[in-house]
C-alpha cells in the first residue's frame, strides 16, 4: 500500500465517521418519542384498519353467518385456514351443509385480508387486538367458531284465519243460554219460598 492510498482511505474513513456523528448529533437534540407499552394500554391508540387476528362476527344472539362455503380457505395463499363441514337433515327432508370447525393458524397468516374480501356473507373480519404473543406455536392455532352452535329456530305455525280468534273469544249461544236457563229455575224457587 502506497502512502497516497493510505491517506485516501484515512480521509474516507474520517468522512464516514463525521457523517455518522452528524446523524447521532441530530438525534441527540430532537424530541424523544418513547413507547411506554404496556403501561400505556389504556391510552394506546391502535388504528381501526390494523390487521391483527382473524375472528368471526357474532350477532347479539351468538350466531355467526359462516355457511361453510370454503371460499376463504381457497383464497388463502398459504393454507392458514382449514374448514370442516357436516351435512345435517332439515325438518323438510332436505340436507344442508353446516360449519363444524373453522381452524385458523395465526402463526402462518400473512394478514393479506384475501379471506375477508372473498367471504360472500361477511362472516369474518380482522380485529386490531395485536397482543397475541404465546410461548408455544400450538397456541397460535385457533378455532374461530368457539361458541356452541345454536339450533335453528322452529318454523312458525301457519297463520290462522282472522275469524278464528274472534270465535274463540266469543262463547257459543248454546253455552250462554244454558247458564241463563239454569239461573231462571233458581229464581223461581226463591220467589215461591218468599210467597209461602
The domain boundary, picked from 143, 162, 183, lies at 143
| Selection from 166, 71, 78 nearest residue 120 by Cα | 71
Q: 3-38 as b/e, with b when 16 or more CB fall inside 10 Å? A: eeeeeeeeeeeeeeeeeeeeeeeeeeeeeeeeeeee
Reported as a single tens digit per residue, the pLDDT across 146-170 is: 877 766 544 444 445 444 444 444 5
pTM equals: 0.57
Q: Is 25 among the domain residues?
A: yes
Rounded average pLDDT over 1-7: 87
Instruction: List strands edge to edge, sheet with 95-105.
Output: 81-89, 95-105, 141-143
Mark whether 7 and 65 lie in a shared domain.
no
Structural domain total, the chain: 2
Question: Residue 18's domain spans which residues?
Answer: 1-29
Q: Is 174 among the domain residues?
A: no
Q: Is 77 among the domain residues?
A: yes
Amino acid at each position: 500500500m502506497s502512502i497516497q492510498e493510505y491517506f485516501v482511505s484515512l480521509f474516507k474513513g474520517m468522512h464516514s465517521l463525521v457523517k455518522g456523528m452528524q446523524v447521532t448529533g441530530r438525534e441527540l437534540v430532537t424530541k424523544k418519542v418513547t413507547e411506554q407499552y404496556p403501561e400505556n394500554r389504556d391510552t394506546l391508540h391502535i388504528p381501526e384498519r390494523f390487521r391483527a387476528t382473524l375472528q368471526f362476527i357474532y350477532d347479539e344472539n351468538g350466531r355467526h353467518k359462516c355457511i361453510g362455503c370454503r371460499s376463504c380457505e381457497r383464497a388463502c395463499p398459504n393454507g392458514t385456514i382449514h374448514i370442516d363441514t357436516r351435512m345435517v337433515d332439515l325438518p323438510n327432508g332436505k340436507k344442508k351443509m353446516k360449519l363444524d370447525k373453522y381452524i385458523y393458524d395465526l402463526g402462518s397468516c400473512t394478514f393479506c385480508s384475501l379471506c375477508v374480501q372473498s367471504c360472500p356473507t361477511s362472516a369474518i373480519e380482522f380485529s386490531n387486538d395485536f397482543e397475541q404473543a404465546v410461548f408455544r406455536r400450538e397456541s397460535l392455532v385457533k378455532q374461530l367458531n368457539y361458541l356452541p352452535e345454536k339450533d335453528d329456530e322452529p318454523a312458525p305455525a301457519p297463520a290462522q284465519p282472522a275469524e278464528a280468534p274472534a270465535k274463540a273469544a266469543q262463547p257459543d249461544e248454546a253455552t250462554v243460554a244454558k247458564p241463563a236457563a239454569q239461573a231462571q229455575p233458581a229464581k223461581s224457587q226463591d220467589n215461591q219460598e218468599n210467597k209461602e
